[in-house]
Amino acid sequence: MRTLAALLLLASALVAQDEDPPRLIEQLGGDDIDSRDRAEAALVKLGRPALATIEKALAGADGEVKARLQRIVASITRPRWTTDLTRALATAKAQKRPLFVFSTVGDLDGYA
């Protein structure tokens, strides 16, 4: 039982280490392209909580790392559009983000 608890503790430490923004940013400059791609995806998944760290790293970055950091910032900050208002409300509430609603006046049939 203690062995299982130790393994679970080790696994949770490894997951936490992989989700560490400075560590992921460091991996963006690594030799292995798969590791760089995984680090980029992980940073996008972390979202806004990692944004301040990413923007600090962006100030001192150059080359491919800078390009990747710029893509990450753009991905995290770009508006997400949807036509399903119910889903948009649920997502905004879950993410604790504002919801902007744009609507048309009148019927759009016949207009493309």
Q: What is the pLDDT of residue 96?
A: 83
Q: What is the pLDDT along the chain (112 residues), one digit of tens a residue?
A: 455 444 444 444 334 445 799 999 999 999 999 999 999 999 999 999 999 999 999 999 999 999 999 999 999 998 777 788 888 889 888 888 888 877 777 666 665 5
| Residue extents of the structural domains in the chain | 2-79
Q: Which two tokens stand for residue 100?
A: 């902007």
Q: What is the pLDDT of residue 13?
A: 39
Q: What is the pLDDT of residue 10?
A: 42
State in Å, rounded, how far the first CA of the chain is from the last one: 65
pTM over 0.75: no
Cβ-count burial of 53 within 10 angstroms (0-12 exposed, 13-18 middle, 19+ buried)? middle
Q: What is the pLDDT of residue 107?
A: 67
Q: What is the pLDDT of residue 1?
A: 47
Whole-angstrom distance, CA of residue 89 vs CA of residue 95: 10
Q: What is the pLDDT of residue 2?
A: 54
